[in-house]
Chains A and B, each alone.
Chain A
Amino acid sequence: MTMKRTEETMREEGRSGDREHRPNTRTTEVAGRSSGGVKSAEPVVTVENLSMYYGSFKALQDVNMRIDRNSVTALIGPSGCGKSTFIRSINRMHEIVPKARVEGKVILDGEDVYAPDVDPVRVRRKVGMVFQKPNPFPTMSIYDNVLAGIKLGGKRKKGELDEVVERTLRQAALWDEVKDKLKQGGTSLSGGQQQRLCIARTLAIEPEVILMDEPASALDPVSTQKIEDAMEDLKERYTVVIVTHNMQQAARISDYTGFFFIENMGDPGRLWEFDETSKMFSNPNRKETEDYVTGRFG
């Protein structure tokens, strides 16, 4: 945790860098930043030349990205440009789609996630995921929903489990609302509460990285606010990658922003620009990024 930087220093670096911007090499430069004499942040995930296919359809091409520890990275872009595809490739969740396949590398803590001897189950233990639609397990109580992941690892003491439930529900800003009904079914909650339950469930397995695919898109503003509040605290302990269509949300909560874009219909999606959020929203290098964040299209 010594590697953690303050937001201020990161913003400084972002402004001081004056680099040329080409789409495909863009993130190599970001990655290169640490070697370029700037105070180094530790990358948790490094994505190198990642392309994704669904059968013969190429959904994503040559993505390079570096995700720093304890940062929040927002991924934005028009619908269908491969944001979900991208984050699913980080914890190998795309593998449940038959014929989906990946080229390139995803390095997690120095280890290639796609190395032949790596078990995706282990990857997902370190890289948790929250989905667009809340998906609590309907046959389990709130309590058991939170512990669903932990219980996979074997038996634990009741006291320890109680502690995990309370801690993670607090982190997910749900504890006060459910502490008196932990034994009720997970689906007895409202949509926003269900989503925070799913966040708590993911926190309980103590992943290093949490991927969130539009976690608030199906929710009302109050629930969204609560989830954003929760994320503010999550940054302390976790690294968060979040897909969102909500520009204000991206600007509010993230340190870095990646803009995915498809230039011509039928092309694969690309990471068009990736930079510190402040830069992306104030002075992006590419016109499409500016158009998108200012709402001119998308």
Chain B
Amino acid sequence: MGFFKGLRRGHTTDTVFAGVALLFGLFIVLIMGGIIYQLWLQSSVARQEFGWGVLTSSEYNPGAEEYGALSFIYGTLVTAALAILIAGPIGVGIAAYLVEIAPERVNRVLGFIVELLAAVPSIVYGLWGFFALAPFLRDYVVPPLQGVLGWTPLFSGTFFGATVFTASIVLAIMILPTVAAVSRDVLRAVPRDQREGMLALGATRWETFQRAVLPYAMNGVLGAVILGLGRAAGETMAVTFIIGNKPELFTSLFAQGATLASQIAGQFPEAGGVTLSFLILLGLILFVITILINICARLVVRLVSRVPKGGVRA
């Protein structure tokens, strides 16, 4: 290999340095392997005890030795989906504003604000969501919402503040920067001649965005949204603080629920034995879900770079 060849040729220090650098690269691989190994190892008790059935059972009652993961998977997917439903369009809207409308200075300021939004710690979102947002929703948002849509199962029941609804909104705010920043980069990468081509046909700014810019950037925007979904699925502290942590296949958004992450964080300090192993099994499930989502997002974004750039092929 190059390493030993280099040693023999006498570039000793260079080769050693390259080798050391390689070791650190290897370290990343080791960490990833270690994470998977530990998840597998620490969840072995639960995996052997419950088998695949754990994925389809929603009964969770450690006192009665009942361990089902379904309600947590359900809670994770539903809150993440709701969050992306809110943050997706708004995030892309912010990106569109930044790239297509905002003057240079506003652009920098707003870009900075979005960055700060990403920097606020998760637990602070949780505290704020519980003490500020939830009462606000209870007093000003839920009553009119129930007035109109209260008859649907989605919005039925009494709103207690700490609910799936509140958690999803906080999640939406938290992933907004991810969606906005990635889609901004994607929209920025759309060549100017695409916009010019559409404008020159007598298109308005919106038509130019809708018919030339967005289709061109579609895969990347989709990738941004999927990345946001992944972040929402793994977000822990804010949700733990707000969602109520009740393992249930809820139908109303005004009910309490639990996610994989919130269950681990909320129950860990008291857990031992099988319960602890079960929590780590939940971690394994969460890991698989987020990895799949992330790989999806990256594949989609990678496809973008292969898309014909409208360039000359002659």
Stretch at the interface among B23-31, B127-135, B189-197, B255-263: B189-197
Contact A135 B196 (CB under 8 A): yes
How many residues of chain B are within 8 Å of chain A by beta carbon? 30
Would you call A138 and B202 a contact (CB within 8 A)?
A: no
Q: Mark A184-214, 1 if CB is under 8 A from B, else 0.
A: 0111011110100010011001000000000
Which one of A125, A135, A202 lies within 8 Å of B194 (CB-CB)?
A135
In the docked arrangement, what's the CA distance between A5 and B311, Å? Answer: 39
**When the two chains form their complex, are residues B308 and A149 in contact, meaning their CB atoms are under 8 A apart?**
no
User: Is residue A292 contacting chain B, with contact meaning CB distance below 8 A?
Assistant: no
The yes or no answer to A124 lying at the interface (CB within 8 A) is yes
Question: Chain A residues with Cβ under 8 A from B118's Cβ?
Answer: none
B207 interface hit (Cβ, 8 Å):
yes
For the complex, give the distance between the alpha carbons of A93 and B201 in Å.
11
Give the nearest-CB partner of B103 in chain A. Answer: A98
Contact of B310 among A137, A218, A223 (CB under 8 A): A137
Q: A133-B312, A187-B308 are in contact. Are A138 and B201 (CB under 8 A)?
A: no
How many angstroms between the C-alpha atoms of A223 and B193 in the bound complex?
21
Task: Identify which of B211, B216, B309, B312 contacts A148 (C-beta below 8 A).
Answer: B211
A135 with B193, Cβ < 8 A, contacts A121-B203, A202-B200 known: yes
Tell me whether A135 and B207 are in contact (CB under 8 A): no
How many A-B residue contacts, CB cutoff 8 Å? 94
Chain A residues lying within 8 Å of B104, measured Cβ to Cβ, are: 98
Q: Which of B194, B212, B216, B308 contacts A185 (CB 8 A)?
A: B308
CB B150 to nearest CB in A, in angstroms, measures 39
A residues 205-251 in Cβ contact with B at 8 Å = 205, 218-220, 223
CA distance A127 to B146 in the complex (A): 53
B192, B215, B311, B314 interface centre (most CB from chain A within 10 Å): B314
In the bound assembly, the distance between CA atoms of A287 and B16 in angstroms comes to 68
Q: Is the CB of A131 within 8 A of B196?
A: yes
Report whether A187 and B200 are in contact in the complex, using a CB–CB cutoff of 8 Å.
no
Closest to B218 in A: A139
Shortest B208–chain A CB gap in Å is 9
A201 touching B201 in the complex, CB below 8 Å, given contacts A98-B103, A98-B104, A148-B211: yes
Beyond A139-B216, A139-B218, whether A134 also contacts B312 by CB under 8 A is yes
Least Cβ–Cβ distance between A277 and chain B, in angstroms: 26
A258 contacts the other chain (CB 8 A)? no
Give the residue of B198, B211, B307, B312 whose beta carbon is less than 8 angstroms from that of A138: B307
Q: Complex: how many Å from CA A138 to CA B104?
A: 28
Provided the pairs A138-B309, A185-B308, A219-B314 are in contact, do residues A129 and B200 lie with their beta carbons within 8 angstroms? yes
Say yes or no for B204: interface residue by CB 8 A criterion: yes
Q: Is A96 an interface residue (CB 8 A)?
A: yes
Contact A124 B310 (CB under 8 A): no
Q: How far is the CA of A190 from the CA of B196 in the complex (A)?
A: 21
Across the interface, which residues of A come within 8 angstroms of B212, CB to CB?
Answer: 137
Instruction: Report the Cα distance A219→B207, complex, angstroms.
Output: 30
Q: Classify chain A's interface size.
A: 35 or more
- For A131, list chain B residues within 8 Å (CB): 193, 196-197, 200
A133 touches B193 (CB 8 A): yes
B residues near A124, Cβ cutoff 8 Å: 199-202
Known: A137-B216, A139-B215. A194 touches B312 (CB 8 A): yes
User: Within 8 Å of chain A (Cβ to Cβ): is B313?
Assistant: yes
Encoded as 1 (CB less than 8 Å from any B CB) or 0, chain A from 56 to 94 comes to 000000000000000000000000000000000001010
Nearest-CB distance from B299 to chain A (Å)?
Answer: 19
Q: Which residue, A131, A152, A201, A218, has most C-beta atoms of chain B within 10 A?
A: A152
Q: Which residues of A contact B103 (CB under 8 A)?
A: 98
- B212's nearest neighbour on chain A, judged by CB, is A137
- In the complex, what residues of A have CB within 8 A of residue B197's CB? 131, 135-137, 198, 201
- Digit string of B148-186 for contact with A (CB within 8 Å is 1, else 0)? 000000000000000000000000000000000000000
* Contact yes or no, A138 B314, CB < 8 A: no
**Contacts A93-B200, A96-B199, A152-B202; A189 near B313 (Cβ below 8 A):** yes
Bound Cα distance from A220 to B311, whole angstroms: 15
- How far, in whole Å, are A205 and B207 apart by their CA atoms in the complex? 15
Within the assembled complex, what's the spacing in Å between the Cα atoms of A47 and B74?
67
Task: Given A137-B216, A189-B313, decide whether A205 and B201 contact each other with a Cβ distance below 8 A.
Answer: yes
Q: Are A128 and B201 in contact (CB under 8 A)?
A: yes
Partner of B314, one of A96, A122, A149, A192: A192
Q: A135-B193, A140-B215 are in contact. List 15 more A-B contacts (CB 8 A).
A: A93-B196, A124-B201, A125-B202, A133-B311, A134-B310, A134-B312, A137-B194, A137-B197, A137-B216, A138-B310, A152-B211, A187-B311, A201-B197, A219-B314, A223-B314
Closest 10 CB pairs of A and B: A191-B314, A149-B201, A191-B312, A125-B202, A129-B200, A135-B193, A139-B215, A187-B308, A190-B314, A135-B197
